[in-house]
Amino acid sequence: MSISIEQYLLFTSIVTLIVVSPGPNLFLLLHATPANGRIKGFIMILGFGAAILSHALLALVGVGVSVVK
């Protein structure tokens, strides 16, 4: 099964837009950092990274599915 170049370019364009679009983490960071300071902003970034990493690891292991049940 092969796809045309047009379908491939459409798919990669949509995926790129989804990946680069800002999420709620960015809006929280932009709102809280000026009020709380740069150090708190860096701590928030570390927390976001830890959350993403732990979610990815849990999904990789399959625990994410068992928690939902």
Per-residue pLDDT at 22: 86
**Residue 39 confidence (pLDDT):** 94
List, as one string, the DSSP characters of the chain.
----HHHHHHHHHHHHHHHHS--HHHHHHHHHHHHH-HHHHHHHHHHHHHHHHHHHHHHHHTHHHHHH-
Q: What is the mean pLDDT of residues 5-12?
A: 92
Given pLDDT bands bounded at 50, 70 and 90, which one contains residue 65?
low
Over residues 15-63, the pLDDT tens digits come to: 888 888 888 888 999 999 999 999 999 999 999 999 889 988 887 888 6
| Both structure tokens of 23 | 């999420």
